[in-house]
Amino acid sequence: MTAKRILVIDDEEDIREVAQLSLEMVGGWEVLTASSGSEGIAKAEAEQPDAILLDVMMPDMDGPATFAQMQRRSSIQHIPVILLTAKVHATDQQRFAELGVAGIIAKPFDPMKLANQVAEVLGWKDI
C-alpha cells in the first residue's frame, strides 16, 4: 500500500516543519508543504495529495478563501481539507464547519497526536 500524501499549507515555517516531521515520523506519510494559499492551490493541482492541512490565519489569502478557491477547481475539489486554527471558539468552529471542510484541528497541536487526529478526521485506519 502506498503512503498517504498530505499537503500542509501554513505561512509559518516552524509550524510547517513540526507538522511535516510529525506526519512523516508518526503517520509514515509523505508530506508536501506550501507557505501561502496560492502556492498551496498550485501544489494541490500538481501533486494531487490525499488530504490538505490548511492554516486559517494567513496573509494575502486566508484559509477559508483558499478553501473556497479549491472548491471552484474540479481537479482538487474532491481532496479533503482540514483546517488548522488557533480560533477554537464555538462560533468560529461552526462557521468553518459550514464551509464544508473535513474537520478542524486546534493550534497549537500536539506533534505526537497530529497524525492520529488527521487519520481520525478522515476515517483512515492504517496508522
How many domains are there within the chain? Answer: 1
Give a yes or no: residue 127 inside a domain: no
Mean predicted confidence (pLDDT) in 89-101: 85
The model carries a pTM of 0.94
CB contact at 8 A, 116 and 21: no
Give a yes or no: residue 125 inside a domain: no
Give a yes or no: residue 57 inside a domain: yes
Give a yes or no: residue 90 inside a domain: yes
CATH code for position 53: 3.40.50.2300
Tens of pLDDT, residue by residue over 26-75, are 999 999 999 999 999 999 999 999 999 999 999 999 999 999 999 999 99
Q: What is the pLDDT of residue 127?
A: 60
> Helix or strand or coil: residue 111?
helix
Q: Which domain holds residue 18?
A: 5-120
Q: What is the pLDDT of residue 81?
A: 98
